[in-house]
Chain A
Amino acid sequence: MNIDKRLVRKDSLEKLFDILKRNSKTIYAPFTKNGKSTFRDTESFGAISTGYIQTTESAKDIAFPRTEKLLDFSKSKEGMSVKGTDLNDIPDVILWGVRPCDASGIGELSSIFNWDYKDEIYINRLSKVTVFGFSCSKSDEYCFCTSVGGNPGNTAGSDILFTLLGEEGDYLAEIITEKGLAVVDLAQNLFEKTDISGKEKFLAELPVKFSHEDIRLKLDKFFESKEWIEQSLRCLGCGACAYVCPTCACFDIQDEAHGKKGSRVRCWDSCGFSHFTVHTSGYNPRNVQSARWRQRIMHKFSYMPERLSVYGCTGCGRCSRACPVDMNILEHLISIQEVTV
């Protein structure tokens, strides 16, 4: 659902950045250091990375931070006092330069954090975020968004989606949501009326490599397959895949205390870690790496579609890029589709 389409000139982006800054917006944008790019609070337009196919880390921590304080507690003579996270402290954020696979991943994360029990902290953080998606004009061998229902110009999850219109450097801005429209209202003259249609020729071409619906059907009878063992023999259980994934939501809850004060925090976790499901008795229902690898794939391509009606993979390919032993999720999904049960 698009509200409107506008043209943003090449040199208007910097002006937009400045206007947003003057309106006290915090801007999270890709920032590259030592070859790794992450979303950071950015003060200068010039520091924003461009031309990346994909950032090293996803943008999910804007709503689901790596470490999130859930509550503070303090002990005194009068007793125990416990205070929840102050949701008023959350700043208004523009998430700038997100690729469509990351933007659509926000919807998948949200389906987990809204499943019956509404996670107020996540919901509040996300409500303060306006997403500036940037379509992809390039892809690499790890990308497979078109195989999981996305595409290089997918508007899902973005409030405004910018598409680079060839060499001149102008952008088509698709205003997707009311939040996006609110940004346009701040900088009316930078968003020029346009009758451009058809952004497709400016997008990366990415052939479909497999069908996620077929994978899902295949997985119904695949639990006992030896393929899981084959695929995961080299898996180190390091969890890098989960940390860079835009939809992985597994977390741990821990207390941090210093003297009589402390906090309870939620931190990212991974189903690939060997201790993830260990019972207190020492018994572990997922006691081998192949069972943990199976959980990762089954969760994203079978359990989430069944329980939450969304797939837990956007085809960003980050897990394959990050894997220290070159496990490639695209190759593994294709072989799941091809292997006979």
Chain B
Amino acid sequence: MMDNLYMPYLMRIERITYEAPGVKTFMLKFVNEADQDKFSYKAGQFGEYSVYGVGESTFCIASSPTRKGYIECTFRQTGKVTNALSGCEEGSIIGFRGPYGNVFPLDKWKGKNLLFIAGGIALPPMRCVIWNALDMRDNFKDVTIIYGARTVKDLVYKEELKDWELRKDVKLITTVDPGGESPDWKGEIGFVPTIVEKAAPSSKDTIAIVCGPPVMIKYTFPVLAKLGFADENIYTTLENRMKCGFGKCGRCNVGNVYVCKDGPVFTLAQLKELPDEY
């Protein structure tokens, strides 16, 4: 760790991918190679991304730690910092500090089926662990991804969705909300919880990872329970507001649990122990 906890690494924006209206992915490389050499992270961790003069914003690291030499983040243009990030061009320098938080326990999941369920802009926090699992594909049994967005346009990582569609070792189900389909849409139409119920994935030896807007999560958990998933086998990642990322600024706690230090990855069993303040 650096001496000054708040000192970000300087990162060069290597590539910008337009994902969906208002949503972009930055591929970031360390300006100083020495920083790159000592940097390591695991799937599930997050960081503070900053535009100098504007401020910092918290997102997960969206790329898999198995892909070396860069990190990626995906964000929606919403507030002051994400607007400034959105205005950056390839070659621009931004700040990044991290990684913070806990990780998805991939080692513990070896030998199991993996079921990923994501909604909208919540595929990015899951993408790191999806690619991490696919890069060590032999360690897992069936891999199923259920991903939904409001409209076809709002689906992120469109190229990767095509990849996953074509892979024989991945079962991909995509869906859009009713009315969000385009004339040539071949995926499902319906809200994520409904599609999960329809797909009825087996809960036997299966880990479910769920990430999405609160309303999606709220209605997906009961569906999983009905399918026989134990609370210990359902994972999610919380995204409370944060400033520091390491348990000092006082924002992200849910009861006595700090999302930045104890999370962001939690099982449903852990969430049920917490007060309803997330």
Residue ranges of A at the interface with B (Cβ–Cβ < 8 Å): 70-71, 73, 75, 79-80, 82, 84-85, 112-113, 115-121, 223, 249-255, 257, 262, 264, 266, 269, 271, 276-281, 283, 285-286, 291, 295, 298-299, 302-303, 306-307
Contacts and interface: CB of A to CB of B under 8 A. Distances in A.
Interface stretch (B53-61, B154-162, B166-174): B53-61
A117 B93 contact: no
Given A278-B241, A283-B214, A82 B95 contact: yes
B256 A251 contact: no
Given A84-B7, A285-B254, A253 B244 contact: yes
Q: Which of A75, A113, A280 has most B Cβ within 10 Å?
A: A280
Nearest to A74: B52
A253 B256 contact: no
A117 B253 contact: no
A112 B247 CA distance: 8
Given A82-B95, A255-B55, A257-B53, A279 B4 contact: no
Contacts, number: 125
Nearest to B250: A250
- Interface residue SS majority, chain B: loop
B52 A82 contact: yes
A102 B246 CA distance: 25
Contacts of A253: 6, 55-56, 243-244, 249
A190 B266 CA distance: 60
Interface in B223-278: 239-241, 243-244, 246-256, 258, 261, 275, 277-278
Nearest to A73: B52
Given A112-B248, A250-B250, A251-B243, A285 B278 contact: yes
A255 B52 contact: yes
B196 interface: no
Nearest to A84: B4
Q: Which of A116, A262, A264 has most B Cβ within 10 Å?
A: A264
A298 B274 CA distance: 14
Interface size band for B: 35 or more
B5 A119 contact: yes
A82 B7 contact: yes
B244 A70 contact: no
B1 interface: yes
Interface string B138-159: 0000000000000000000000
A117 B277 contact: no
A254 B55 contact: yes
12 contacts: A73-B53, A80-B10, A112-B247, A115-B248, A116-B261, A117-B248, A252-B243, A253-B56, A255-B52, A277-B252, A280-B78, A281-B78
Contact of A262 (B52, B95, B214, B253): B52
B6 A115 contact: no
B10 A82 contact: yes
Given A75-B52, A253-B6, A303-B255, 7 more contacts: A71-B4, A82-B95, A253-B244, A255-B51, A269-B249, A269-B250, A281-B213
A120 B3 contact: yes
B201 interface: no
Contact of A299 (B3, B213, B250, B254): B250
A334 to B, nearest CB: 23
B66 to A, nearest CB: 27
A75 B249 CA distance: 28
Contacts of A285: 240, 254, 277-278
A249 B250 contact: yes
Interface in B1-54: 1, 3-8, 10, 31, 50-54
